[in-house]
Structure 1
Amino acid sequence: MGEFSTNTALLFSVVIMFLTVYFSYRGFKDKVFFEKYLFRVDNILVSKDYKRLLTSGLLHGNWFHLIFNMYAFFSFSEALESQMGSGQYLMIYFFSLVGGSLFALYIHRNHGDYSAIGASGAICGLIFASVALFPGISIGLILIPAQIPGWLFALIFVAISIYGIKSNAGNIGHDAHLGGALAGMLVAIAMNPEIIFYNYIPILCLLTPTIIFLYFILAMPEILLINTSFSSRNSYMSKDEEYNLKKFNKQKDIDRILDKINEKGLDSLTSREKELLDEF
Structure 2
Amino acid sequence: MHFTPIATYSLIAITVVVSLLGFNNRGLLNRLAFQIGPVLRRKQVERLLTCSFVHVDAGHLLMNMVTLYFFGPQLEYIYGPVKFVGLYVFCSLAASLVVLALRRNQMQYSAVGASDAVCGVLGAFCVLFPFQNIYILFIPIGIPAIVFAGLFLAWSSWAARSRKGNVAHDAHIAGTLAGALAVLVAGSGLFTGA
The answer for the alignment partner of 1:235 in structure 2 is none
Question: In the alignment, is the contact (CA less than 8 A) between 1:39 and 1:52 conserved in 2?
Answer: yes
Q: CA deviation at 1:163?
A: 1.3
Find the aligned partners of 1:108 and 1:115 in 2 and give their Cα distance.
Answer: 10
Q: Rate the CA distance shift 1:151–1:135 in 2: closer, same or farther, 3 A.
A: closer
The answer for the alignment partner of 1:118 in structure 2 is 113
The answer for the alignment partner of 1:63 in structure 2 is 58
Q: 1:102 aligns with which of 92, 97, 100?
A: 97
1:16 aligns with 2:11: yes
SS in 2 for 1:142: coil
State percent identity of aligned pairs.
Answer: 33
Please show how residues 1-280 of structure 1 align to structure 2 within 5 Å: 6=2, 9-192=4-187
Corresponding residue pairs, total: 189
Amino acid at match of 2:12: M
Q: Compute the TM-score of the two structures, normalised by the length of structure 2.
A: 0.92
Q: Compute the TM-score of the two structures, normalised by the length of structure 1.
A: 0.64
SS in 2 for 1:83: helix
Q: Based on CA coordinates, which of the two structures has the bigger radius of gyration?
A: 1
Question: In the alignment, is the contact (CA less than 8 A) between 2:71 and 2:122 conserved in 1?
Answer: yes
Amino acid at match of 1:28: F
Find the aligned partners of 1:78 and 1:91 in 2 and give their Cα distance.
Answer: 14
Bigger Cα displacement from structure 2, 14-23 vs 85-94: 85-94
Question: In the alignment, is the contact (CA less than 8 A) between 2:79 and 2:188 conserved in 1?
Answer: no
Amino acid at match of 2:184: I
Give the unaligned 5+ runs of structure 2: 190-194
- Which of structure 1's runs of 4+ aligned residues deviate more than 4 A? none
Question: In the alignment, is the contact (CA less than 8 A) between 1:88 and 1:191 conserved in 2?
Answer: no
Amino acid at match of 2:35: R
Find the aligned partners of 2:111 and 2:160 in 1 and give their Cα distance.
Answer: 14
Amino acid at match of 1:174: H
Calculate the aligned-residue CA RMSD, in Å.
Answer: 1.6
Q: Which has the higher contact order (CA 8 A, sep 6+)?
A: 2
The answer for the alignment partner of 1:256 in structure 2 is none
